[in-house]
Amino acid sequence: MKQNNFLITIIGPTAIGKTALSIALAQHFGCEIISCDSRQFYKEMKIGTAVPNEEELNAAPHYFIQHKSILESYNVGDFEREALLKLDELFEKKNIQIMVGGSGLYVDAILKGFDDFPDINPAIRKEIKAEYESKGLDYLQQKLQESDPIYFEKLSSENPQTLQNPQRLMRFVEVSLGSGKPYSSFLNQKKNKRNFTPIVIGLEADRVIMYDRINQRVDLMIQDGLLEEAKKLYPNKQLNALQTVGYRELFDYFDGKTTLDFAVEEIKKNTRRFAKRQLTWFKRTENVNWFDYLTDRKEIISTIESSIK
């Protein structure tokens, strides 16, 4: 069955043109689109997450866009389970389908799946969270270094930004303390089977061009009403879904910590940094067909069709 199903997966940094390409390919192959942008899931976050507009959504069937509320709990495991079920359903209709998005972890969830971790007593997570809130990030980093020194060193050298992410660190520490084994001992233990062959298309651009596109997109978001959208979300600013570039900076403005002009410049700067991290993640992905964002779509289609044959 795997040989007959193909999942065209479009990856790349934000504002590079993934949405437009996914629609063109969906129309060419007569298939549908799974979105794996982890912030476009939320219906209250439309402008700041660059959700496809009505015309784009009508141009091809889309799934996993604005289907959840920021008040609902939804994580990458939930997405993996639901998206794989939806793909099974779509492959019944057509053996070629499309997935698009810039959330590397969510792309990996579908293409490769996750490692199996033991169930951990929720009380342990609660205790770790309380310690973090009173002692800060240093506490989590120290605990990970004590419980899994090999993984700590690996992250320090290969992925240092993860050591600044409290949600990820709490998970690592929770598994290590709750199981009595290093978090890293549960990694890469099994291969998840998938009923499709991935064909991965990456879009990229010269860094100056990429940054310019990001700056222009942020200006458009402000014109389209991002400030008003953020104001509506401000009462819920503590929610995990809203710890997102484009909203955090405006929340600081509402709190009187910055000027509006400074907040907008921070959104641009932090989005550029985010795009750089996206590229770093995706460049580690195996078997990607990379194209300049201006490549003629016929060339991309030709690459896909030769892979399918």
| 104 known member of a binding site | no
Question: How many angstroms separate the CA atoms of 172 and 97, rounded?
Answer: 34
Kindly state the tokens that stand for 182.
């290093």
- CA atoms lying within 13 Å on the CB side of residue 154: 7
Identify the sign of the CA torsion 193, 99, 41, 283. positive
Handedness of CA 133, 139, 141, 143 (dihedral sign): negative
- By residue count, the chain amounts to 309
Residue 267 counted as an annotated binding residue: no
Q: Is 162 annotated as belonging to a binding site?
A: no
β-strands 62-63, 33-35: how paired?
Answer: parallel
Question: Residue 14 annotated as binding?
Answer: yes
> Is 17 annotated as ligand-binding?
yes
Which residues participate in the annotated binding site for ATP?
Answer: 12-19
Which residues participate in the annotated binding site?
Answer: 12-19
Which residues participate in the annotated binding site for substrate?
Answer: 14-19
